[in-house]
Structures are given as structure tokens and as C-alpha cells.
Amino acid sequence: MTGSTRPTVLPPWRPTAAHFRATLLGVVGAVVAVAMNRPDLLVLITPWLVVTTWAWLRRPQEQVTVSTAVGHGTLREGEATVLRATVTIPDGVDDVVVAVSPSVFMEQDPPLGIRVIGLSEGRPVGDDVSTRRAGAAVVVRSTRWGARSVGPVRCGAWSTWGAFRSGPVDSESQRLVTLPLPAVFTPTAPMPHPEGLVGAYRSQRPGSGSEFDRLRPFQVGDRLRRIHWPVSLRTGTLHVTSTYGDEDSQIVLVVDGTSDLGPREGLDGRPTSLDLTVRAAGAMAEHYLGVGDRVGLRVVGAARVPRVPVGSGRAHLRRVLGSLALIEPATDRDDDGEYAIAGIGAGAVVFVLSPLVDPAMVDVVARLGSRGLTTVVVDTMPEHLWRSENDPYTSLAWRLRRLSRSVDVHRLTSAGIPVVPWRGPQSLDQVLRELTRRARAPRMARR
Amino acid sequence: MSTPPPAPARQLRLVRLGLSEEYGVPQLLLGAVVILAPVVFLAAMILAGAGFTWWFLVLTPLAAAGAARPESTGHLVLWVLLLVVWVVGVPGPFTWWSVPAALAVAASHTALVLLGGRPMSGDLAADTWPRVRRRLGTVGAITVGVAVLAQLVRSIRVPGQVALAVMALVAVSVWLWWGTRQAGSDAEPEA
């Protein structure tokens, strides 16, 4: 369990309306029965008198405490964890009701998040048999990426015969970060600018790699294990096997957090533009970090999302996904993207993931291209936004928007910046091959 | 990092009565008990000799309306009315029909207690029904005992019979308290 809250002590016990009603009817009824000499009335009010007396004798002397803990502080979309409430039940308590308030993009089991704990479910606490401890678990399943709260957990307790009540009170909410579930991304094309010392891409230069280059005469400094003995014996001079070096790439993901288009339906529904953006960025980060590249993340238009410098490894993937989960769209309207794209290394390949709706993002892409950086725009505009639209006016609005977008796209492609719609596993293969080919040719850049 | 996704959450069937909250099945059953208890009470009253059949038409809808809000004072008003009607309509001083009427009172109070303050939907605790059965049995037994005592005292024509019955009730309460003390903190008083 992580993130256990401090125990919340429920307020003092107070009589309920039922107890007041039973006491009043019982006592007044008894007086009237005696005054009017009506034994049948006495029989009628006997249940109220018995219940009142019983409840009074068994009233709790101590207060209930509740603490909550969530099983996992971080989830992937579609995964579930358990929100567990632990309550101490003093003697004389019948039921403790624990209810988890519904949260957006959180499914609960039981569906309403309500658990009622009876005294019999409790276990004695140490040697004190008068106080028991019991737990109630509510399964919560997150259906959309993001950082949000679960709860608060509302807790109330009822004494014997429901005569006294404590609470309900709300305990602290639990913070739960849901990492995006990356889409499938399995490109087969090489990266245009491999650099560095280790990685998955073949270098242009010979080096200590694994891909065969040629057989050449031995030179001072060659490793002895590289000597190719059959050729050396046949030619009479020592020959070695030469290989190409291995290199990795530096990849910078620039994510458009300026807008989120479409209805938010979570993992099981249709994606919004930001859903596509975040899941595509997650997929690319997962793939490239998996093959040994270095990946950085910059977000435009969303406040409180730190820049993630380039790095590698599984821990870095966790950092990238965690930052993606923090994106709240359009929380920084003044962001022109300059801070995000500042300091990107010359050899980096920049992937801009954007639906290209905000003019600021188009400018950001144009600036990246003008600086000579290899830039690819991944278009994350979901097509269902206009395909399923039946309203003629909304359709017209979308048509105008798409015309405007096509002008922007044309402007970028004219400047040599490819714009590729996100289509899943091998969306970028073609464009990466072309960029690799282009990278070998001389070029000019405006600086 | 986390548990695998669970099976799809089970569907919960809820019923909404007019503008009320959504009710779960156990709460609907308890609401039915709250509504039916005055009907049983009135039926017992008529069988005991009262001629107020038209009260059915007035009090039953009142009970139905009150069931939606178990902590409202409507229930107090309803039961005061029912007791007044009983005292006025049923020829005294004693009838055995007061026993089923008292059991209806106990059932109504128990149902109201289970409904009051708790969420109107969701399951009850696992031990709720056995506990309720045990307690209603205890209350019913005490009620029958009081009725037998009242009838006994009336038949032997002791002066101040009702006062004696009240004293007997107090004695039962003291016995309950003593039983609770003896049984320790876990046990509940037995009849």
C-alpha cells in the first residue's frame, strides 16, 4: 500500500432521529397507557421501549477512526488498484459505511463505491477485545491518463439499533497518477542522424560495432581477436575484419498541449486529439528508449509540466510518461513555444506531435525547421471529429478548420518539414527513410 | 507496477421513485417494510374492533411518502396518529391483536433504522440480516411476554395493573442491562 493517510477520527456520537422517535413514543406511550389504564397500548409501545433501552445500554464509548490507502500510486490507463479503508470499530457499533466519492475517469467496483462493514467483519486489535479493526476495499480502474484524486472517502458509523451516529466525515483524497497507455509503434526505418558511441543504428564510419564493413590489412591498434586467419594465411599478410560503429540517436518529442479536441471518453471510447498526442508520444518514447536512444520531452501550452532532458533507460521512460500524465491542456496560453524548443542539440531529431490547430504550434514547427533541425510533424488530429458529425453547421465549421489547417500543412511541407498523420505502428517509416536519405546530401539552413 | 485490470464492473440495478434518490434492492425491500407496517397495524386495529377502514387511504400514502426520507419527522407524526387512532378506535383495555400490531411497530422501526442515514443504494453489511432476525426475535419475545403479563394481571384483577406491567418492563430492561454486562463486550443481550 502506498500513500496511507493519517487516521481520521470520526466526530462524537449523536442520537439519531430514530432514537429520538422511539424514546418519545415509548415514554409518552407508557405514561398514556398508565394514565388511561390501557395495557394494549403498553404492548404496542413495548418494542420502542425495549429498543431505546437496549440502544442506550450498548451505546459506544469510543470513537471510530478511519484511514485510507491506495494500492498503487501510479497506474497505466485501463489498470486497476485497490483503495482500502481501514476502520477501528469500538464495542457497540453496528455498521460502518465507507463510500468512495465518484471521480471522473475512474470506474469503481462496487459500482457506487459503497461498502458497509459490520462488527462481525472486524478482528480484535491486540489484547483489546472491545475494539476491532476491519478493512473495506474498493477497486478503482483508471480509464484515462492524467494526475487526479481518488476520493475523498466518506465514512459514517451507526451504533446498536441505529440509535447513535458518528459522522459522516470525509477523509483525505488519494492522488493517483495514470500514465498513458502507449500506442503500438514499431518502426523499421533507421534514424537520420545517429550519433554517440553505442546504440542500434549503423554508423557511417568504421568502428567497434557488429555490422560487417570489409576485410583490410592489419594496422597498429587493431584488436587481435579481429584477425581473420583464413584470409591472412591465404594472402601471407595479416588481415582483420572491419565493422561499422554503432550509434544512437537523440530524439526530442515536442508535444502540443495547447488544445484538446473532441469528447473525452477515456480508454474505452474515442480518443481526443490530446489522447492521440500523449499516447503517440508515449509509444515513441517507449520504442526509442527501448532500442537505446536518448529521448527528451518538451511540452508547449501546458503549465506545470517540466522539461525532460534527453536521457536513456527504463527509469527515463518512467520520467517521460510521468510528465506526459501531468499535461493539462491550454493551461499556459501565453506560451509561444520558445522555451520548449530552446537548447535542442544540432544532431537531434525533433518529432512535433500536434493536431496543428493552434497557430503557435505551426510557428514553433516553422522555427525548428528554419534552425536546420531535422523535424517531423506527427499529425494527431482524430478524424472521427468530422466524420461522425451530422450537424450541418458543425460540419461546415470543421470543413473551414480543415481548409485552414491544410494551408498550414502546405506551408510546412513547402519548407521541407514533413507532416505525417499518426496511423500507429509504422506511421513514420516512409518519412524517416526519406529523411535518412536527405541527411546524407548537403543542404542549406537559414540561421 | 500494478494489478491487472479486473473483470468489467458488475452492473447495479437501481430504481428511482419519482424525484427520489436511486434505491438498491435491499433498500427497496426495507422501504416496502416501512410502507406495509402501518397497513398491518391498521389491519390489526380493525380486527381488534375499530371501524376506521378509511384511514388506510390516508395513512398508507403518508407512510409511502415518509419511507423516502427515513429520518424525517413524518414517521413520528404517522405513528402518533396511529396510536391515537388505536386508543380512540379500539375498545380497551386489552386485545391480543395488539401483539401483531406491536410486531409491525418493531419491523417498521428496524427498517427505518437500516434506511436512516445510510446510502440509499449499495449492499448492506454481510451480517445485517442475521443480526436483524436475532434482534427482532428478542424484541418480539419481550413484546409477547409483556402481552402475556398484561393479560395475566388483568385476569386476576390486580389494582394498578398497567403500572405493574410498566414495572415488569423496567425489570426486563434491568435484566437486559445485567445480561449485557455479564456477557462482555462481544455478546448481545439475549431474550
Residue of B nearest to A47 (CA): B106
| Position B190 confidence tier, pLDDT thresholds 50, 70, 90 | very low
Residues of B in contact with A17 (CB under 8 A): 70-73, 116
Strands (E), B53-123: none
Last residue of a domain, one of B80, B105, B124: B124
Task: State whether B102 and A43 contact (CB < 8 Å).
Answer: yes
**Closest by Cβ to B113, choosing from A32, A75, A162:** A162
**Omega within 30 of 0 (cis) for the link into B93:** yes
CB B97 within 8 A of CB A91: no
Mean pLDDT score across all residues of chain A: 84
pLDDT at A216: 86
A410-435 average pLDDT score? 84
Do B40 and B106 reside in the same domain of the chain? yes
| pLDDT classification of A219: cutoffs 50, 70, 90 | confident
Q: Please, which residues have CB within 8 angstroms of residue A357's CB and are 6 or more apart in sequence?
A: A258, A259, A261, A273, A381, A401, A405
Question: Would the CB atoms of A121 and B151 count as touching at under 8 Å?
Answer: no
Say how many domains are in chain B: 2
Instruction: Give me the pLDDT at residue A122, please.
Output: 66
- With pLDDT > 70 as the criterion, what percentage of chain B qualifies? 63
Statement to judge: residues B135 and B42 lie in one domain: no
CA–CA dist A86, A6 (Å, integer):
11
Q: What was the pLDDT predicted at B188?
A: 46
SS3 of residue B2 by DSSP = coil
Instruction: Considering only residues B125 and A367, tell me which one the structure prediction assigns the higher pLDDT.
Output: A367
Q: Do B173 and A53 touch (CB under 8 A)?
A: yes
CB atoms B177 and A156 under 8 Å: no
Q: Is B143 found in the same domain as B59?
A: no
Q: What is the pLDDT of residue B159?
A: 63
Task: Tell me the average pLDDT across A213-224.
Answer: 85
Q: Residues A158-207: pLDDT tens digits?
A: 999 989 999 788 888 888 889 888 777 777 776 666 665 555 565 666 66
Q: Are residues B53 and B93 located together in one domain of the fold?
A: yes
Which residues in chain B are closer than 8 Å to A41, comparing Cβ atoms?
83, 86-87, 98
B47 and B139 in a single domain? The answer is no
Secondary structure class of B3 (helix, strand, coil): strand
Q: Which residues in chain A touch residue B44, judged by CB atoms under 8 angstroms apart?
A: none
- Closest-CA residue of B relative to A48 is B106
Q: Does any domain span residue B4?
A: no
Please, which pLDDT band fits residue B187 given cuts at 50, 70 and 90? very low
pLDDT at A402 over 80: yes
Range of the domain at B71: 12-124
* Residues of chain A contacting residue B117, judged by C-beta atoms under 8 Å apart: 16, 156, 158, 162, 165
Cell matching residue A250:
537523440
Instruction: Of A139-148, A167-176, A206-215, give the lowest mean pLDDT range.
Output: A206-215
Which amino acid is located at A184 in the chain?
V
Give the CATH fold of the A250-440 domain: Rossmann fold (3.40.50)
Q: Which of A144-158, A185-199, B49-63 is most confident? A: A144-158
Q: Please give, rounded to a whole number of angstroms, the shortest distance from the CA of B74 to a CA of chain A.
A: 10
Query: E strands within A10-145?
Result: 14-15, 65-70, 74-76, 80-90, 93-100, 106-109, 114-118, 123-125, 128-142
pLDDT higher than 80, residue B62: no
pLDDT of residue A394: 84
Q: How far apart are CA A146 and CA A171, in angstroms?
A: 22
A37-73 pLDDT, tens digit per residue, is 888 898 999 999 999 988 988 888 888 888 888 888 8
CA distance A224 to A231: 14
Residue with cell 448492506: B124
Nearest CA in chain B to A22: B109
Q: Which of B124, B141, B159 is the last residue of a domain?
A: B124
pLDDT in tens, B23-43: 778 888 888 888 889 889 988
- Residue B31 belongs to a domain: yes
Q: Is B69 exposed, middle or buried (0-12, 13-18, 19+ CB in 10 A)?
A: middle
pLDDT (average), residues A118-127: 67
Residue at a domain's end among B77, B103, B124: B124
Query: Is the ipTM above a cut-off of 0.95?
Result: no
B20 and B107 inside one domain: yes
The residue extents of the domains of chain A are: 8-13+60-179, 201-247, 250-440
Q: Side by side, which strands form the sheet with A74-76?
A: A74-76, A174-179, A146-150
Say how far apart CA A156 and CA A160 lie, in whole Å: 14
Averaged pLDDT of chain B: 76
**Strongest mean pLDDT among A68-72, A89-93, B129-133:** B129-133
Q: Cα distance from B102 to chain A (closest Cα, Å)? A: 4
Average pLDDT of span A335-345:
84
Distance, CA of A112 to CA of B115 (rounded, Å)? 17
| CB contacts, 8 Å: B157 with chain A | none
Give the long-range contacts of residues B31-34, CB within 8 A, separation 24 or more: B31/B67, B31/B68, B31/B111, B31/B115, B33/B107, B33/B108, B33/B110, B33/B111, B34/B63, B34/B66, B34/B67, B34/B70, B34/B75, B34/B108, B34/B111, B34/B112, B34/B115
Q: What is the mean pLDDT of residues A224-251?
A: 84
What confidence tens digit (pLDDT) does each residue in B73-92 have? Answer: 888 888 998 899 899 888 87
Q: Do A37 and B185 touch (CB under 8 A)?
A: no
Nearest partner of A136 among A150, A116, A106, judged by Cα: A116
Q: Identify the three-state secondary structure at position B164.
A: helix
Q: What is the 3-state secondary structure (H, E, C) of A10-27?
A: CCCCEECHHHHHHHHHHH
Rounded to whole angstroms, the Cα distance separating A432 from A186 reads 13
Using a CB-CB distance cutoff of 8 angstroms, which residues of chain B are in contact with residue A181? Answer: none
Q: A8-13+60-179 sits in which CATH class?
A: mainly beta
β-bridge pairing A65-70 and A8-9: antiparallel
Are A256 and A280 in contact, with CB atoms under 8 Å apart?
no
- Exposure string of A323-351, with b = 16+ CB inside 10 Å and e = fewer, is bbbbbbbeebeebebeebbeebeeebbbb
Higher pLDDT, A77 or B13: A77
Q: Which residues contact B68 (CB under 8 A, 6 or more apart)?
A: B17, B20, B21, B31
Contact A286, A317 (CB under 8 A): yes
| Predicted pLDDT of residue A58 | 87
Task: Report the percent of chain A where pLDDT is more than 90.
Answer: 20
| Mutate: best of B113, B138, B169, B172, partner A, most A CBs <10 A | B113
CB nearest to A18's CB, from B113, B173, B189:
B113
* Coil, strand or helix at A203: strand
Q: Is the pLDDT of residue A36 over 60?
A: yes
Instruction: Say whether pLDDT at B186 is over 50.
Output: no
User: Does pTM top 0.95 for this prediction?
Assistant: no
| Shared domain check, B133 and B43 | no
From B23, which residue of chain A is nearest by alpha-carbon distance? A112
**Percent of chain A topping pLDDT 70:** 88
> What pLDDT score does B133 carry?
92
C-alpha A69: how far from its chain's center? 19
Confidence of residue B5 (pLDDT cuts 50, 70, 90): very low
Q: Name residue A183's beta-bridge partners.
A: none
